[in-house]
Amino acid sequence: MENRPLEYDYSVAKMFMFTTIILGIVGMLIGVILAFQLAFPGVNLILGESLAEYTNFSRLRPLHTDAVIFGFTLSGIFATWYYVGQRVLKVSMAESKFLMALGKIHFWLYLVVVAVVVVSLLAGVTSSKEYAEFEWPIDIAVVVVWVTFGMSIFGLIGIRREKSLYISIWYYIATFLGIAMLYLFNNMAIPTMLGTSAAGESGIGAWYHSVSMYAGTNDALVQWWYGHNAVAFGFTVPIVAMIYYFLPKESGQAIYSYKLSLLSFWGLMFVYLWAGGHHLLYSTVPDWMQTMGSIFSIILILPSWGSAINMLLTMKGEWQQVAASPLIKFMVLGSTFYMFSTLEGPIQAIKSVNAIAHFTDWIVGHVHDGVLGWVGFMIMAALYHMAPRVFKREIYSKSLMAAQFWIQTLGVVLYFTSMWIAGITQGMMWRAHDEFGNLAYSFIDTVTVLHPYYTIRGVGGLLYLVGFLMFAYNIYKTMSARPVEERELQNSSPMGA
Amino acid sequence: MVDIAQLQAYGYFTLTILLVIALYGYIYHLYSTKKDADGVDYESYSDMALKDDLGDTPVLPRSDDKEK
């Protein structure tokens, strides 16, 4: 036992792989239920009148968003960090008892917070800020989890053998710092029990309730600075970290241009933080700030496409791999969807386009071609690549993976095309008026027209969920598939029939 | 008379120009020097992902005496 050569230790990565899959199923299942609730309102009462409080759209919606963002995606980020981090720094977690213990504490604390979040959101306890619904006691626990993650990152960097930090590590560090800053500032709040009303009452409300430290327009500004950058540092930066490691590794190809990766990194870091104002176009925030949000959103195309093109060109001369390997397919389509959504977003941020797009389903479509096509595909690809190395077994079924790829791709396409049509229809109908300025349509007219598209969206989401269940099954069966030799794990992942 | 809005506008314009110069300067620096301060070609850093077994030689090993 003692003479065993030093190996990378994936125990923490494995634990987070588990939560990625479980929370992915939960979050996506709720998403599908919500989609069908919008198409068929009766689904709100799916468990009967008496439980309607827990099954209606408004109660489940934050559970969906938080489960896929802070459950599925964050777990995926943690799982890949505890895998990629060791490998590119060339240091094993087994070399430090402290880091090993810290990683496990990180996981268990995270799991406790997830459980508390699920219970509190189902109970309807919320601060009512989008993507920041957790009340202050949970916020404090989240900060502790995040600090543990940070200590793991910098601890591992501290004992590294490789002097330079690989580009993915830069992106993981940016994820840590970005979210830390955003989360702290947006969640600044005063517990209501500390306040005194104008009438002199004190100790108002339940102990866990709080009000934001910002008011009115300022609150909206901070909220969307946070909200948009949660997309930046939760859905973009860490996913770019993943693809910069997993695509070169799986394909055996060096990054097309390492210099371009550095350039895009700094471009993304500088530009992204200023783009949040585009969520508040035509609202009460200062006009110059809206314009700034628009302009920075357009500029954002450059660093985003810098990374995406770098990824696609990494496959230069090796395109036959895309046809041969479903795992490469996931990553190449992922970076293609990244290009789509980072072009679509800036278009929506142009003021005149936004006049039609704002508050419509087109926005929902945009978010989902990004998260389903880019974030979801990349995280699943990462886990597929990790599975044979972590379990030392070949991926259970290549054909199942290929079937999953096509089912989910169809799902994503149905999702975003239906939302494009629905959104633009909605935007045009809301604005239509006669020569005296009277609105041409009432709200219910739009609902009637949109019904078929809402149904198609539900079907698209369902297909994606079915694919995700196939993914979960494939990973589960991988744990008992054919054992593989060390040499089979160099680049392309071994797969069973 | 110069009011605060005018000052802001000049400041904004100057900052934009400076950032553009910094960005193009960085691109020029990357592509003309090709190597970083340690004399390693930027492109060879891709090997950190490709050759990432514990036994593989690091692209640039961290030696303790240099680190301190």
Rounded to the nearest angstrom, the minimum Cα separation between A260 and chain B is 9
In terms of Cα–Cα distance, which of A467, A335, A455, A334 is closest to A411? A467
In terms of Cα–Cα distance, which of A260, A270, A356, A274 is closest to A309? A260
Say if A367 falls within a structural domain: yes
Q: How does residue A371 score in pLDDT terms, banded at 50, 70 and 90?
A: very high
Residue whose entry in the numeric block shows the structure tokens 């054919």: A482
Q: Domain holding A336: CATH number?
A: 1.20.210.10
In this complex, do A258 and B31 lie within 8 Å of one another by their Cβ atoms? no
In this complex, do A163 and B62 lie within 8 Å of one another by their Cβ atoms? yes
Both tokens of A298, joined, read 């357009």
Q: How does residue A390 score in pLDDT terms, banded at 50, 70 and 90?
A: very high
Find out whether A136 and A210 touch, Cβ atoms under 8 Å.
yes
The percent of residues in chain A predicted with pLDDT above 90, rounded, is: 93
Flag whether pLDDT at A296 surpasses 70: yes
Flag whether pLDDT at A202 surpasses 70: yes
The partner residue sitting opposite A90, judged by closest CB among B30, B45, B58, is: B58
pLDDT tens digits, A52-103: 999 999 999 999 999 999 999 999 999 999 999 999 999 999 999 999 999 9
- The pLDDT assigned to A454 comes to 97
Q: Is B37 on the interface with A (CB under 8 A)?
A: no
Number of structural domains found in chain A:
1
- The pLDDT assigned to A119 comes to 96
Q: Nearest-CA residue of chain B relative to A161? A: B62
Residues of chain B with C-beta less than 8 angstroms from the C-beta of A6: 54
Residues of chain A with C-beta less than 8 angstroms from the C-beta of B62: 160-163
Domain carrying residue A186? 12-191+213-481
Say if A196 falls within a structural domain: no
Say if A458 falls within a structural domain: yes
Q: Is A266 on the interface with B (CB under 8 A)?
A: yes
Q: Is A267 on the interface with B (CB under 8 A)?
A: yes
pLDDT tens digits, A308-353: 999 999 999 999 999 999 999 999 999 999 999 999 999 999 999 9
CA distances from A415 to A27, A337, A457 (A): 16, 13, 5
Residues of chain B with C-beta less than 8 angstroms from the C-beta of A244: 49
pLDDT tens digits, A81-92: 999 999 999 999
Q: How does residue B67 score in pLDDT terms, banded at 50, 70 and 90?
A: very low
Residues of chain A with C-beta less than 8 angstroms from the C-beta of B46: 248, 254-255, 258
- The pLDDT assigned to B68 comes to 40
> Residue A214 has what DSSP assignment?
S
What values do phi and psi take at A483, rounded to 5?
Answer: -65, 150
Rounded to the nearest angstrom, the minimum Cα separation between A11 and chain B is 17
In this complex, do B49 and A267 lie within 8 Å of one another by their Cβ atoms? no
In this complex, do A163 and B38 lie within 8 Å of one another by their Cβ atoms? yes
Residues of chain A with C-beta less than 8 angstroms from the C-beta of B44: 258
Residue whose entry in the numeric block shows the structure tokens 């987070």: A16
* Residue at A251: amino acid letter: S
Residues of chain A with C-beta less than 8 angstroms from the C-beta of B26: 263, 266
DSSP letters spanning A338-389: HHHHHHHHHHHHSHHHHHHHTTSHHHHHHHHHHIIIIIIHHHHHHHHHHHHH
ipTM: 0.85
Q: What is the pTM of this model?
A: 0.94
Q: Is B30 on the interface with A (CB under 8 A)?
A: yes
Q: Is A428 on the interface with B (CB under 8 A)?
A: no
Rounded to the nearest angstrom, the minimum Cα separation between B1 and chain A is 23
Say if A2 falls within a structural domain: no
> Residue B68 has what DSSP assignment?
-
- The pLDDT assigned to B2 comes to 75
Say if A490 falls within a structural domain: no
Looking at the DSSP assignment, which residues form a beta bridge with residue B61? A162
Q: Return mean pLDDT, chain A.
A: 95
Q: How does residue A282 score in pLDDT terms, banded at 50, 70 and 90?
A: very high
Say if A491 falls within a structural domain: no
Flag whether pLDDT at A3 surpasses 70: no
- The pLDDT assigned to B64 comes to 57
Both tokens of A320, joined, read 């036959």
Both tokens of A27, joined, read 């979050």
A308 vs A400: CA distance, rounded Å: 27
pLDDT tens digits, A146-164: 999 999 999 999 999 999 9
Our measurement of the distance from residue A156's CA atom to the centroid of its chain's CA atoms, rounded to an integer in Å, reads: 24
- The pLDDT assigned to A162 comes to 94
Say if A301 falls within a structural domain: yes
The partner residue sitting opposite A263, judged by closest CB among B26, B38, B49, is: B26
Say if A488 falls within a structural domain: no
A68 vs A38: CA distance, rounded Å: 19
Angle between helices A11-39 and A74-89 (to 10 degrees): 150
Q: How does residue A2 score in pLDDT terms, banded at 50, 70 and 90?
A: low
Flag whether pLDDT at A173 surpasses 90: yes
In this complex, do B52 and A87 lie within 8 Å of one another by their Cβ atoms? yes
pLDDT tens digits, A394-426: 999 999 999 999 999 999 999 999 999 999 999
In this complex, do B48 and A162 lie within 8 Å of one another by their Cβ atoms? yes
Q: How does residue A263 score in pLDDT terms, banded at 50, 70 and 90?
A: very high
In this complex, do A270 and B45 lie within 8 Å of one another by their Cβ atoms? no
